[in-house]
Amino acid sequence: MKSFPGVMFLHLAIFPPFIAAIFYANKTQGCDQRRILSVVPRWMRAMFTSFFIYALLNFILFFIQSDGNSPSERDGKFFITSHQRVIREISETEFHRQQAYIVRGFSGHWMAFSVAAMVGLTGVLRMKQRAQEI
């Protein structure tokens, strides 16, 4: 987080394309998840599945490494906290490592939501193209 201060902005950036894909699919008649997945290229379905498995495993690993706690800084000292309650004091190095765990934990979700938007938009576009060909 120190190296890339705006990295947590990705929390917000993943939603516009995802919401657009849902909106676009809802406006297109006959769209449902199975039909959308059936018309996208095989490599895209494989990527979709891989990213969601990665997100799940990555989040489990994050939870194990962080013990469900979070790093915080107060008055130049670093701590592991749980619900604003100090668990223990840590070094600055460990603080940054814990922050890296958080970013990595969320990165899988950023990837999964992004690929879901791509698959959704591609699938709906292909369905519309096929409907026009008929």
How large is the average pLDDT for residues 95-105? 88
Give CA–CA dist 72/54, Å, rounded. 27
What integer pLDDT is reported at residue 4 of this predicted model?
65
What integer pLDDT is reported at residue 15 of this predicted model?
86
Q: Which residues of 84-114 are buried (b: 16+ CB within 10 A; e: fewer)?
A: eeeeeebeeeebbebbebbbebbbbbbbbbb
Of 114, 105, 104, residue with least CA distance to 51: 114
pLDDT digits (tens, 9 = 90+) for 35-50: 888 899 999 999 999 9
Q: SS3 of 107, please? A: helix
pLDDT at 88 over 60: yes
**Backbone dihedral angles phi then psi of residue 4, each to the nearest 5 degrees:** -130, 80
pLDDT at 75 over 60: yes
